[in-house]
């Protein structure tokens, strides 16, 4: 079923072949080992950077290609087919949340210091909002950054930070004016090795095992005011703006993963035999696959719709939230059904479907939970 | 000495696609199939680009088929770095004689120093065009070009060409994969080489390459304009799936195994 023909043109499809070839050569053969090791080699960032994967939306002056959202959409769909949500997330964060704020709001100096080397794969970035005492509540952040002369002094901690362990820099959301709610938030770049900044622990996860996820702590951590991203106390709006594209990429990633999940289910049921015939010949299995294909297609079309709106410059807050929720929940459901179709094999670690099942579960949680998506949608409805 | 190199880019069924024979047994079902460039041709393009990167020159890529083959000419062929493309617009059946004849006419006009082709295409696995072409042109040929170093070696990482041009620029040294080992030969230019899997690891078509490819020159010709009759000399009588393998059996002991190998399988 070719559903993307109206959204992606010939060049996007040519780029898709490049990403596919990259995934097949550089990632897929190593997925099992990397998942077991709970990490992937840093060199993969170099390889991905050589192909320009981190600079698709960014200016040529900083090493990007300014190719646009559709190319990055292709990248996210195809990366997610590698079968390791963790690898896709580690590379994905570098292309979106860890670099997006610098591109949108950073000074030329910040772009040269951090964005350009991140696009070139020379340094790894992370974006830190979530805290141990509160997840989605950006207005209620506890981490503070008080101004002392030409420095900000950061105190607090962050958790569930993708790429946090090996990040060379972290964009930290902190309160520069704790007396105010969301109007007192700013984004500040903290470099690895800055005194007072430590990685408190690497976190163990249900899925996304190949990605590095950290808890970070800041104690009297002094960074120059030049590291402020955008305007002081304007961080909330900036963070929310950056989340839009992140959510779309999470929806696109869910589509890519669901494509692979569906392909694995099809491959299994068309070869597995029971009661003298292929499992796929039972009507109950045929109908299950028909429903799965329908749900995947519906999520794909809503996501592509949100993507087209976003690329056209529309502030599609509602559609993006809907797409993120629908696509990630669809992926979770498909993974569960595909695992069920595998029977006993689905529960065995040696089959790949269990990894999708574990990885997909993060979809409705990360980048804003389904509940937060519903809040956004409800607000759009005037409720 | 700058080299002019002609390479081929055949459009073939993607090996990820599931190939089915049509019910009439006259061919395969094309609906829903995905297509890509023949992987051996991709290796040929890579080798040509490495050679011209080292010695200067030009890489011209040729494909034969309907307008859909332009897709593979643009990307990956031109996107990888080939300078220009020639599209032989032909819809309908063709065989290796017709294909070699088209390439021969193009070579007579373009006068390349070297032609590099995939050793075979992964669709029908005929593996004959390279030799037919060399024969038709009366050029030397070096089929199954490979190299001594592995694909993980430093030579591969440095993107050095495995086909070596002589100091006087009059011949190339080619390491060939033959039964039981490697054979090194020298071929006088102009020559035709065909590529093995272990010759190199082709580069990806980069995004800037994909963008540039759309403005690179692409010339359209037809078999008629080349003076070639494409009527095939080969007729496909019937196409079938290979018979399904039968389940194996367990033998009691080594003598029983030897007996079966000798008298039933006639393998020893």
For residue B63, what are the β-bridge partners?
B87
pLDDT at residue number A4: 45
Domains of chain B, residue spans:
3-240
* pLDDT for A118 beyond 70: yes
Cβ atoms of residues A164 and A216 within 8 Å? yes
Q: Do A52 and B204 touch (CB under 8 A)?
A: no
Model confidence band, residue A5 (pLDDT cutoffs 50, 70, 90): low
Contact A270/B at CB under 8 A: no
> How far off is chain A from B22, nearest CA to CA, in Å?
19
C-alpha count within 13 angstroms, C-beta hemisphere, residue B1: 16
Note the pLDDT tens digit of each residue in A237-285: 998 888 899 999 999 999 999 999 999 999 999 999 999 999 999 999 9
* pLDDT for A3 beyond 60: no
Please report which helix (H) or strand (E) contains residue B219, including its range.
strand B218-221
Of A10, A25, A52, the CB nearest to B207: A52
Q: How far apart (Å, rounded) are the C-alpha atoms in residues A25 and A34?
A: 15
- Mean per-residue pLDDT of chain A: 95
Contact B71/A at CB under 8 A: yes
> Phi then psi for B261, rounded to 5 degrees?
-65, -40
* pLDDT for A146 beyond 70: yes
Note the pLDDT tens digit of each residue in A301-335: 999 999 999 999 998 999 999 999 999 999 999 99
pLDDT at residue number A1: 43
Among B residues 211-230, those touching chain A with beta carbons less than 8 Å apart = 211, 213-214
Chains A–B, number of C-beta pairs less than 8 Å apart: 43
Contact B208/A at CB under 8 A: yes
Which residues, 6+ apart, have CB-to-CB distance to B32 below 8 Å? B17
How large is the average pLDDT for residues A192-204? Answer: 95
Q: Do A14 and B208 touch (CB under 8 A)?
A: no
Contact A18/B at CB under 8 A: yes
Q: What is the separation, in whole angstroms, between the first and last Cα of chain B?
A: 54
Domains and CATH numbers, chain A: 10-119 (1.10.540.10), 125-235 (2.40.110.10), 236-380 (1.20.140.10)
Residues of A forming the active site: 246
Q: How far apart (Å, rounded) are the C-alpha atoms in residues A190 and B65?
A: 57
Note the pLDDT tens digit of each residue in B230-266: 999 998 899 998 888 888 889 999 999 999 999 888 8
Q: Do A18 and B36 touch (CB under 8 A)?
A: no
User: What are the pLDDT tens digits along chain B (268 aa)?
Assistant: 799 999 999 999 998 888 889 999 888 998 889 999 999 999 999 999 999 999 999 999 999 999 999 999 999 999 999 999 999 999 999 999 999 999 999 999 999 999 999 999 999 899 999 999 999 999 999 999 999 999 999 989 999 999 999 999 999 999 999 998 999 999 999 999 999 999 999 999 999 999 999 999 999 999 999 999 999 999 889 999 888 888 888 999 999 999 999 988 888 7
* pLDDT for A28 beyond 90: yes
Contact B33/A at CB under 8 A: no
Question: What is the second-level CATH architecture of the domain B3-240?
Answer: 3-Layer(aba) Sandwich (3.40)
Cβ atoms of residues B72 and B213 within 8 Å? no
């Amino acid at each position: 079923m070719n559903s993307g023909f109206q959204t992606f043109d010939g060049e996007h499809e040519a780029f898709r072949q490049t990403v596919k070839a990259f995934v097949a050569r550089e990632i897929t053969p190593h997925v099992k080992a990397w998942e077991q090791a709970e990490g992937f080699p840093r060199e993969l960032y170099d390889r991905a950077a050589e192909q320009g994967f981190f600079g698709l939306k960014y200016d040529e002056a900083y090493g990007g290609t300014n190719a646009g959202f559709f190319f990055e959409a292709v990248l996210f769909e195809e990366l997610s087919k590698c079968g390791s949500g963790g690898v896709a997330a580690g590379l994905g964060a570098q292309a979106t949340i860890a670099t997006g704020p610098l591109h949108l709001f950073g000074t030329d100096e910040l772009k040269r210091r951090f964005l350009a080397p991140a696009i070139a794969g020379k340094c790894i970035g992370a974006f830190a909002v979530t805290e141990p005492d509160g997840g989605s509540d950006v207005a209620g952040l506890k981490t503070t950054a008080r101004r002392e002369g030409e420095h900000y002094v950061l105190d607090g901690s962050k958790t569930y930070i993708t790429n946090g362990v090996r990040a060379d820099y972290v964009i930290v959301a902190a309160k520069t004016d704790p007396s105010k709610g969301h109007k007192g938030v700013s984004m500040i770049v903290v470099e690895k090795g800055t005194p007072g900044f430590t990685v408190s622990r690497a976190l163990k996860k249900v899925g996304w095992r190949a990605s590095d996820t950290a808890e970070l702590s800041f104690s009297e951590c002094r960074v120059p005011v030049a590291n402020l991203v955008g305007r002081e106390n304007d961080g909330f709006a900036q963070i929310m703006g950056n989340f839009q594209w992140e959510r779309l990429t999470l929806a696109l990633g869910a589509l890519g993963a669901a494509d692979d999940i569906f392909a694995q289910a099809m491959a299994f049921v068309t070869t597995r035999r029971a009661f003298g015939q292929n499992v796929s010949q039972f009507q109950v299995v045929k109908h299950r696959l028909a429903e799965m294909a329908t749900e995947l297609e519906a999520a794909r079309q809503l996501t592509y719709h949100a993507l087209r709106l976003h690329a056209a410059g529309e502030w599609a807050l509602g559609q993006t939230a809907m797409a993120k929720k629908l696509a990630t929940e669809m992926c979770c459901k498909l993974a569960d059904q595909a695992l069920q179709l595998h029977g006993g094999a689905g529960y065995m670690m040696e089959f790949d479907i269990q990894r999708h099942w574990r990885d997909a579960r993060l979809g409705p949680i990360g980048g804003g939970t389904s509940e937060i998506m519903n809040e956004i949608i409800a607000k759009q409805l005037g409720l | 000495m700058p080299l002019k190199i002609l390479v081929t880019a055949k459009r073939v069924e993607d090996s990820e696609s599931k190939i089915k024979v049509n019910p009439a047994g006259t061919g395969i079902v094309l609906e829903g199939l995905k297509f890509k460039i023949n992987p051996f041709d991709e290796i040929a393009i890579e080798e040509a680009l490495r050679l011209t990167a080292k010695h200067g020159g030009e890489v011209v890529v040729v494909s034969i088929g309907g307008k859909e083959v332009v897709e593979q000419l643009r990307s990956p062929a031109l996107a990888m770095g080939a300078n220009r493309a020639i599209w032989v617009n032909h819809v309908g059946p063709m065989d290796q004689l017709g294909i070699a004849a088209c390439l021969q006419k193009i070579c007579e006009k373009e006068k390349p120093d070297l032609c590099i082709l995939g050793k075979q295409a992964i669709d029908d696995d005929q593996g004959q065009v390279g030799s037919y072409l060399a024969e038709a042109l009366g050029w030397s040929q070096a089929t199954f070009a490979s190299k001594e170093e592995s694909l993980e070696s430093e030579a591969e990482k440095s993107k050095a060409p495995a086909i070596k041009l002589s100091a006087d620029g009059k011949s190339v040294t080619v390491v060939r994969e033959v039964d039981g080992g490697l054979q090194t030969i020298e071929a006088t230019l102009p020559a035709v080489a065909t590529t093995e899997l272990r010759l190199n690891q082709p580069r990806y078509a980069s995004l800037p390459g994909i963008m540039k490819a759309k403005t690179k020159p692409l010339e359209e010709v037809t078999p008629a304009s080349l003076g070639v009759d494409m009527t095939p000399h080969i007729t496909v009588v019937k196409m079938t799936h290979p018979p399904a393998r039968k389940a194996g059996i367990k033998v009691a002991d080594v003598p029983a195994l030897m007996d079966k190998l000798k008298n039933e399988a006639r393998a020893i």
